[in-house]
């Protein structure tokens, strides 16, 4: 017997726990939905870019790439030459000096579509006979007048695109690989230099006929940037682009000056068999881009501030873009990959669900905060480790989902538990007061009746009242502890009909004489927008009106419950044909009457109890449809919950 009786208690506790979890889960799910919506609309883009840059910057220090040499034309070189741009003669002399050391590839990151100073003929000869030299052009500007043509001496296959894609926050994170120009696929300077270097290693560039086709060297596929890559939302992804995996070092490439090369201060072994990039490193020349993903640039190293001054010279950008391709093919250095968009959202939602589960299980704000902090450290560590391995995993939205879902779930769960405990305590104290007062008095009356009158109809009625009062506590306790909150879970028509049937089964004297009882139809109330309190009040109104018939209607033979709707007005009538006593027919007495009037005021309607012709009483409640949008929204939301249950 104890085991059998413990099973309902266990089930009640489980239903209570499920009720609390559902109350806490709904706000958590709403928080996750808000984070997901914010990411879908691009509201988190800038935060995700900042996190991406920071993770790249914090990676372990890498070795310098000695395959690339930068010849930077700085302010001292300009002063030495005496003019800017560098004249064609000096540029030709620089190229001849470099070629004598036999580099594998030379990238001329200088626009030379027109002559500069004297010596154009000499420069033309060098350009024509330098089969390992790649020049640049700008061909993707929206305004064609801003395009810059390549040196006329270079054939198209030795000209690379120097166009750069900048993100809306003004920072550089992507590298262009290929694009359509005048109907033909053209490649970037970095890709052509990498292909020229790798060809000597016996590795050929593989590419389809369209710019958007995959680009690869042997088995190394360059992951193409798409409009929804990583934290991007509807980004411009024309042509074939790739995320930049900056080399994690404050000075990733050896840099020499124009003067150093011309004066023979650069040993030939630093040039031989390398990729040489020639470009401007003078602050007076506007050829810089913003970034915060590197450990240092030429500008930040000079200013000794890698956090604030993240200006990258154009030739440095080309060096990073070229180095990441060559290093990926020869050294298996990772490129930046991302998940498919669907898996990213699975990742984000999973962290939110984890936080919800933790918040519901811990049941303590301080424990929840501690575990959320630990989970955040774990999440950041996973994202950091993944970035080191070349994977960009959403960190910012996952953190937001973790904290938003965890905190809201914990707070709502705590409030639900506190409210339930308060209700349980109030119910227990109320019962204790009834038990120690009226029930003890009733027990004394029963004992006196046993001693004086024996078994009488009055004693039987008092015993019935005693049992009924004692059963109230258990029924209310079960409803409080269980998940079966009928006012939330059940639609109003079904709930009213259930109350109607249960009330008529009660052993009340007025029900015994009723011969005609037409089953009511409450379907007209299906779409009536009511708050939870109004719904509960309407149920209590019906129950009390029926109980009044059972207690006070004398010799009633007919009971009608009529529910109607005319346009935007509802009416609920309880009609009997019995002979009523004074307390029942007097509209000014009783707590039930007061509750009915309070309900009518809440509904902005009217309550009326009046005589029925030829005999009996009509108890009627009428009200109009509420126009409050909040009330409508609350009604449809609760109905959705009820349908889902």
pLDDT tens digit sequence for 89-119 = 999 999 999 999 999 999 999 999 888 888 8
Domain count, the chain: 3
Same-domain status, 462 and 490: no
pLDDT at 417 over 80: no
Q: Which of 275, 308, 338 is the last residue of a domain?
A: 338
3-state secondary structure of 239: coil
Q: Which of 439, 459, 483 is the last residue of a domain?
A: 483
Same-domain status, 181 and 88: yes
Same-domain status, 197 and 330: yes
Same-domain status, 502 and 472: no
Same-domain status, 66 and 191: yes
What is the C-alpha separation between 452 and 446, in angstroms, rounded?
10
**Per the domain annotation, does 58 fall within a domain?**
yes
The DSSP string of 306-358 is TTT--EEEHHHHHHHHHHHHHHHHHS-PPPPEE--HHHHHHHHHHHHHHHHHH
Q: Which of 297, 318, 338 is the last residue of a domain?
A: 338
- Of 59, 51, 49, which Cα lies nearest the Cα of 246? 59
State residue 582's pLDDT score: 47
Per residue in 156-198, pLDDT (tens digit) is 999 999 999 999 999 999 999 999 998 899 999 999 999 999 9
| Most confidently modeled range among 216-225, 298-307, 419-428 | 216-225
Same-domain status, 288 and 364: no
552 in Cβ contact with 509 (< 8 Å): no
Same-domain status, 36 and 138: no
Residue 195: domain span:
52-338
Same-domain status, 268 and 170: yes
pLDDT at 319 over 90: yes
**Per the domain annotation, does 46 fall within a domain?**
no
* Nearest-10 Cα torsion for 232, 234, 239, 242: 10
Same-domain status, 505 and 367: no
Task: Please compute the mean of the pLDDT values over residues 328-341 and round it to a whole number.
Answer: 96
> Which two structure tokens, joined as six digits, stand for 25?
């889960």
**Per the domain annotation, does 182 fall within a domain?**
yes
State residue 172's pLDDT score: 95
What is the C-alpha separation between 404 and 375, in angstroms, rounded?
13
* Nearest-10 Cα torsion for 458, 461, 467, 471: -140
Per residue in 203-254, pLDDT (tens digit) is 999 998 888 899 999 999 999 999 999 999 999 998 999 999 999 998 999 9
**Per the domain annotation, does 109 fall within a domain?**
yes
Same-domain status, 403 and 541: no
Q: Of all residues in the chain, what percent carry a pLDDT higher than 90?
A: 51
> Which two structure tokens, joined as six digits, stand for 444?
């004394």
**Per the domain annotation, does 415 fall within a domain?**
yes
**Per the domain annotation, does 194 fall within a domain?**
yes
Q: Cα angle vertex 325, ends 324, 328, to 5°?
A: 80
Same-domain status, 363 and 435: yes
From 292-301, 356-365, 569-578, the region with the lowest mean pLDDT: 356-365
Question: Helix, strand, coil % (nearest 5) of the chain?
Answer: 50, 15, 30
Same-domain status, 34 and 83: no
**Per the domain annotation, does 633 fall within a domain?**
yes
Per residue in 448-460, pLDDT (tens digit) is 766 565 556 676 6
């Amino acid at each position: 017997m104890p085991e059998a009786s413990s099973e309902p208690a266990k089930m009640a506790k489980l239903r209570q726990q499920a009720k609390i979890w559902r109350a806490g889960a709904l706000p958590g799910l709403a928080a996750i939905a808000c984070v997901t919506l914010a990411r879908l609309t691009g509201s988190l883009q800038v935060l995700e870019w900042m996190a991406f840059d920071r993770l790249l910057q914090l990676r372990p220090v890498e070795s310098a790439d000695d395959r690339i040499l930068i010849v930077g034309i700085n302010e001292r070189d300009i002063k030495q030459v005496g003019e800017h741009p560098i004249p064609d003669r000096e540029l030709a002399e620089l190229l001849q000096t470099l070629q004598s050391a036999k580099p594998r590839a030379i990238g001329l990151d200088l626009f030379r579509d027109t002559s500069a100073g004297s010596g154009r003929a000499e420069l033309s000869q060098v350009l024509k006979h330098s089969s390992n030299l790649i020049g640049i052009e700008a061909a993707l500007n929206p305004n064609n007048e801003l395009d810059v043509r390549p040196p006329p001496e270079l054939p198209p296959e030795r000209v690379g695109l120097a166009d750069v894609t900048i993100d809306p926050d003004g920072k550089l994170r992507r590298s262009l690989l290929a694009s359509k120009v005048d109907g033909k696929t053209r490649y970037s300077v970095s890709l052509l230099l990498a292909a020229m270097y790798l060809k000597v290693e016996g590795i050929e560039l593989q590419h389809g006929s369209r710019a958007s086709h995959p680009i690869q060297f042997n088995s190394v596929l360059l992951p193409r940037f798409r409009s929804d890559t990583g934290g991007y939302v509807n980004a411009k992804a024309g042509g074939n682009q790739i995320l930049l995996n900056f080399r994690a070092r404050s000075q990733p490439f050896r840099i020499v000056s124009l003067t150093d090369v011309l004066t023979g201060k650069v040993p030939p072994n630093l040039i031989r068999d390398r990729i040489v990039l020639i470009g401007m490193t003078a602050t007076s020349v506007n050829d810089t881009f913003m970034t915060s993903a590197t450990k240092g640039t030429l500008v930040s190293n000079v200013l000794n501030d890698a956090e604030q001054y993240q200006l990258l010279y154009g030739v440095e950008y080309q060096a990073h873009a070229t180095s990441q391709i060559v290093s990926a093919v020869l050294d298996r250095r990772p490129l930046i990959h991302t998940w498919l968009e669907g898996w990213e959202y699975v990742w984000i939602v999973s962290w939110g669900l984890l936080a919800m589960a933790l918040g519901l299980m811990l049941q303590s704000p301080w424990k929840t905060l501690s575990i959320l902090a630990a989970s955040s450290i774990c999440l950041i560590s996973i994202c950091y480790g993944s970035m080191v391995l070349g994977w960009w995993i959403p960190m910012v939205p996952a953190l937001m989902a973790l904290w938003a879902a965890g905190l809201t779930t914990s707070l709502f769960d705590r409030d639900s538990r506190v409210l339930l405990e308060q209700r349980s305590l109030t119910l227990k104290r109320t019962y204790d007061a009834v038990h120690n007062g009226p029930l003890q008095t009733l027990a004394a009356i029963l004992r006196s009746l046993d001693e004086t009158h024996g078994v009488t109809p009055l004693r039987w009625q008092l015993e019935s009242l005693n049992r009924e009062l004692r059963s109230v506590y258990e029924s209310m306790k079960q409803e409080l502890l269980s998940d079966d909150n009928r006012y939330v879970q059940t639609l109003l028509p079904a709930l009213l009909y259930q109350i109607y049937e249960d009330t008529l089964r009660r052993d009340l004297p007025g029900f015994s004489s009723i011969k005609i009882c037409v089953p009511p139809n409450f379907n007209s109330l299906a779409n009536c927008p009511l708050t939870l309190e109004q719904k509960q009040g309407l149920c209590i109104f019906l129950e009390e009106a029926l109980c009044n018939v059972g207690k006070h209607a004398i010799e009633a033979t007919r009971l009608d419950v009529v529910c109607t709707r005319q346009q935007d007005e509802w009416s609920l009538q309880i009609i009997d044909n019995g002979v009523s006593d004074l307390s029942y027919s007097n509209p000014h007495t009783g707590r039930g009457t007061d509750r009915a009037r309070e309900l009518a005021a809440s509904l902005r309607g009217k309550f009326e109890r009046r005589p029925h012709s030829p005999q009996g009483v009509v108890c009627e409640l009428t009200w109009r449809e509420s126009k409050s949008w909040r009330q409508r929204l609350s009604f449809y939301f609760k109905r959705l919950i009820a349908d889902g249950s």
